[in-house]
Amino acid sequence: MSNFKVTLLPSGEVLDFNGEENLLTQLKGAGKKIKSSCGGCATCSDCMIVVKSGEENLTPQSFEELRLLGNVFHITKERLSCQTRLTGDVTIDISAHEKNTFTGKNESDKKPQTKVRKKEEVESILKEREEKVVQGKNGDTWFKHWEKNGDEAPDSQNKPKKLGGNKRPKPFKFSDSEE
């Protein structure tokens, strides 16, 4: 059982991993948070890592990995950590997995990012919105135009509204000078 050095970016942390287990289980065992919804079966591509250096020190891509990602490793340098085993030292980037959705700086004070507003602030926002609606009702001619009484045209309530449909097209008339 040989150990290999794995440098994790962006932190620059160096860890010793063996070549027998895949990178996903070893990274999770080292306390790194790596997304994986399929549990290492190569069906989700959530555990994708970017190989910065040492790509020759990784096992070749498996059939499952090629089926999911395609043969673009030489362009993107992306591999599935659940299908990748080490054969030497490597540098990988796991910054896509470290995006934190919490505001706390320490692990202990993890709080979701929610905006808390005071009651006065909420009331002022609601008043502003109501004022905008009232302004829209007074100045806008389109607001609830179907409910308007016929102030503009007194006959409009008695006659159905003409929409211009169900009419035959009028023939085109040529002028006498063109014929």
Structural domain boundaries of the chain?
A: 3-93
DSSP 8: E
Fill in the amino acid letter for 155: D
Which two tokens mark 89? 């030292």
Which two tokens mark 105? 């700086």
Other Cβ atoms within 10 Å of 36 Cβ, number: 20
The confidence score (pLDDT) of residue 107 equals 52
Which two tokens mark 143? 């607001």
The confidence score (pLDDT) of residue 74 equals 86
The confidence score (pLDDT) of residue 103 equals 46
Cβ atoms 51, 58 nearer than 8 A: yes
Collapsing DSSP states into helix, strand and coil, what is residue 137? helix
Q: How is 50-115 classified by DSSP, letter by letter? A: EEEE-GGGBPPPPHHHHHHH-S-HHHH-EEETTS--BSS-EEEE-TTT----B--SSSS---B---
The confidence score (pLDDT) of residue 141 equals 64
The confidence score (pLDDT) of residue 172 equals 79
Cβ atoms 67, 57 nearer than 8 A: no
CATH superfamily of the domain spanning 3-93: Beta-grasp domain (3.10.20.30)
Other Cβ atoms within 10 Å of 154 Cβ, number: 9
Give first-to-last CA distance, the chain, whole Å: 98
From first to last of its 179 residues, what are the pLDDT tens digits of the chain?
Answer: 578 999 998 888 999 999 899 999 999 999 888 888 888 888 888 899 999 999 999 999 999 999 998 888 888 999 999 999 999 999 999 988 876 544 445 555 555 556 788 899 999 999 998 888 777 666 666 666 667 665 554 444 566 666 666 777 778 777 766 54
The confidence score (pLDDT) of residue 101 equals 45
Q: Please return the burial class of 84, using the count of CB atoms within 10 Å of its CB with bins 0-12, 13-18 and 19+.
A: buried
